[in-house]
């Protein structure tokens, strides 16, 4: 039986262009970029580099890179102590006139990268840290777990206990388990599960144009909105608002909370089923549900302050 060309480690490395030295020269880097394995789902090249050794497992169809390794795809980079690349045969391109299939079993592609130890992911604006990471090349999604796990943008910091999921193309990050977003202007949003959505490139360009025209610079940074599910808490230096679920709009600094809502400022407290909280002005609009009335506790001295 004819063996695939990637059954031999050196043949695999030569074909995939996985090349790294301790000090990589520009010419060698250019060669590696031109010959990197292709992602058939999105068409972008994935470049792999390492410092010590590579171990190719024909049975599992994996290649393990040790001693400090790197995977690059577009502007997205994954660094770790060890990287494991998962391979699969490329999809058949069809039949030729003589009955032979093109793009046959000799061709392999990289569809997943797993990272172990001191994982660091980053692009031009965002970066994250964890102990373990998994990058799905087809879906362009990265999952991270581990202790002291965090993910940062230029103006926000997200932490989570269990898992952070990052979508680099849409700039969406999702935290699972006591997820927290801290903004540069002092706001803190926590929830059991949280999805933070950054501004699109068009929104960033519009904000920059508005600032050039003399408008006030937004305090929200690159955050567009954040959704929270389960034990949602939004804190500022003056207010704390809680609810079962909610959404925060960073531009107007508005939050809507639903379910067992409580808004406190000092000793003052309002309870209801729903609330719209203006974090810029400190004014909250409490809304009752079908059967739950709005309740409030007003302390005169606190109100005077």
Class of the 1-143 domain? mainly beta
CA distance 21 to 242: 53
The model's pTM is 0.70
Helix (H, G, I), strand (E, B) or coil at 27: helix
In this chain, the answer to whether the domains covering 1-143 and 149-305 adopt an identical fold is yes
Judge whether 255 and 240 are in contact, CB under 8 Å. Answer: no
H or E stretch including 176?
strand 172-183
CA torsion, ordered 14, 15, 17, 21, to nearest 10 deg: -10
Q: Would you give the distance in Å from CA 228 to the centre of its chain? A: 16
Digits of tens for pLDDT over the chain (305 positions)?
222 222 233 333 333 323 222 222 222 333 233 333 334 454 578 888 999 999 999 899 999 999 999 999 888 899 999 999 999 988 765 544 444 443 443 578 889 999 999 999 998 888 899 999 999 988 889 899 988 788 888 778 899 999 999 988 888 899 999 999 988 888 899 999 999 998 776 766 666 666 555 555 555 557 889 999 999 999 888 889 999 999 999 888 899 999 989 988 878 888 888 989 888 887 888 877 655 655 554 545 554 44
Q: How many CB atoms lie within 10 A of CB 170?
A: 12
CA distance 258 to 273: 6
What is the per-residue pLDDT for 24? 27
CA distance 176 to 192: 6
What is the per-residue pLDDT for 131? 95
What is the per-residue pLDDT for 10? 32
Query: Domain residue spans in the chain?
Result: 1-143, 149-305
> CATH homologous superfamily for 149-305?
Lipopolysaccharide (LPS) transport protein A like domain (2.60.450.10)
What is the per-residue pLDDT for 216? 53
What is the per-residue pLDDT for 108? 82
CA distance 64 to 109: 15
CA torsion, ordered 173, 78, 163, 109, to nearest 10 deg: 90
> What radius of gyration do the chain's Cα atoms show?
25
């Amino acid at each position: 039986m004819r063996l695939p060309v990637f059954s031999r480690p050196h043949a695999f490395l030569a074909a995939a262009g996985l090349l790294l030295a301790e000090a990589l020269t520009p010419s060698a880097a250019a060669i590696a970029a031109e010959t990197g394995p292709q992602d058939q789902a999105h068409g972008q090249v994935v470049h792999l580099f390492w410092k010590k050794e590579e171990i190719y497992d024909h049975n599992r169809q994996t290649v393990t890179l040790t001693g400090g390794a790197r995977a690059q795809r577009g502007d997205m980079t994954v660094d770790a102590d060890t990287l494991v690349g998962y391979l699969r045969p490329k999809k058949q391109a069809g039949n030729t006139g003589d009955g032979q299939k093109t793009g046959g079993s000799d061709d392999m592609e990289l569809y997943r990268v797993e990272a172990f130890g001191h994982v660091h992911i980053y692009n031009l604006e965002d970066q994250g840290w964890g102990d373990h990471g998994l990058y799905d090349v087809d879906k362009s999604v990265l999952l991270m777990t581990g202790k002291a796990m965090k993910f940062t943008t230029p103006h926000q910091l997200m932490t989570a206990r269990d898992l952070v999921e990052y979508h680099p193309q849409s700039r969406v990050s999702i935290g699972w388990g006591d997820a927290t977003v801290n903004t540069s202007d002092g706001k803190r949003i926590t929830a059991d599960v949280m999805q933070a959505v950054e501004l699109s490139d068009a929104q960033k360009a519009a904000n920059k144009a508005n600032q050039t025209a003399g408008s006030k610079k937004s305090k929200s940074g690159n955050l567009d909105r954040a959704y929270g599910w389960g034990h949602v808490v939004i804190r500022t230096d003056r207010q704390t608002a809680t609810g079962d679920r909610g959404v925060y709009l960073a531009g107007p600094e508005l939050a809507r909370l639903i379910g067992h809502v409580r808004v406190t400022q000092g000793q003052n407290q309002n309870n209801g089923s729903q609330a719209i909280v203006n974090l810029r002005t400190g004014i909250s609009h409490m809304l009752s549900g079908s059967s739950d009335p709005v309740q409030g506790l007003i302390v005169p001295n606190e109100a005077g302050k």
